[in-house]
Chain A
Amino acid sequence: MTFFAVRHLTMAFGGLKAADAVSFEITKGEIYAIIGPNGAGKTTVFNCINGIYPPTEGSIIFKDRNIRGLSPDRVAKAGIARTFQNIELFSNMNTMENIMLGRHLFMKTGLFRGGLMWGKKSFAGKEEIENRRRVEEIIDLLELQTYRNKFVGALPYGIQKKIELGRALAAEPELLLLDEPCAGMNAEEKQDVVFWIKDIQDMLGITILLIEHDMHMVMDISDRILALNFGRPIAEGSPAEVSAHPEVLAAYLGTEEAGDAPASAGAGRRPA
């Protein structure tokens, strides 16, 4: 069974191919990382998986089913949750309610049963209590108790990132997409995130696909890595293999002579 695979995924915006024939496969339970310089198309791949962008070509297989072209809420229903590079929280809700939204797919209360909620014995009341209890477990896991009833808009950046992670976990996904979980954090906070990601993998058995710029972190936690540059995959393999790959080095460090760059990495440098 294919757990998750992306095959020949191409996303073209006009003449620009933000993702160009990207293929990779993830086995259940591993941590897979996508790396690459700015503008390499990492987030584009995420957006295609999520259904935010309709891919130009290719297929996205999740549990033997092609999920390409599904709307984002269907993808979520299939069992894929994500976090965003630039935090996308519901800033006028408190932490509890934000994470409660992650439980959206598990709740059956509709307009009528919700509107007619009367007491904790009613259907809507019981369901609220039960799901709030589940959310409390996530709040405990991520140590967010202090921020439980605070509006998230005014909370510190690192905390907001954590809440976003919590919201994704509340959806009990089988595959979790993390878009730069460490962006803008200091060394200590990054260390925390690394522990949590490991915990999520070990305790909850969730497969993780992540995008990250911090090489130390990526090398530490990933089982396998895919390197992209200008939308094209340039290397795939274990952390050691990828970090030693000449094209990856070229993409990150540049080459000594401009004309010497490998065709796939240096040619046609995109205008900013």
Chain B
Amino acid sequence: MDIPLWILLVPLAFIVAFTALFLFFNIFHLARYGVVGRGAIALILVYIVSYLFVFVLGVTALLDIKWTETVTLRDILPFTGGSSSSFGL
């Protein structure tokens, strides 16, 4: 059975959505309940920049992979004698 590699991106998309939601709630809390001042604004900027940094870094790493390729169960599971015979966890 052929499994497309892009299937790995599905759980990642959920995690990205989940973390983005949490980021939003963090920023919302700071904007709503924080004390007026440069500190809260600086913190919100740090949150956005740090998240974007990790996100862009991740996307850059993911772009190097050919997601259109397919793999078989033999490739994935070591005990079925897949292409990576030295694999063993």
Do chains A and B interact in one complex?
no
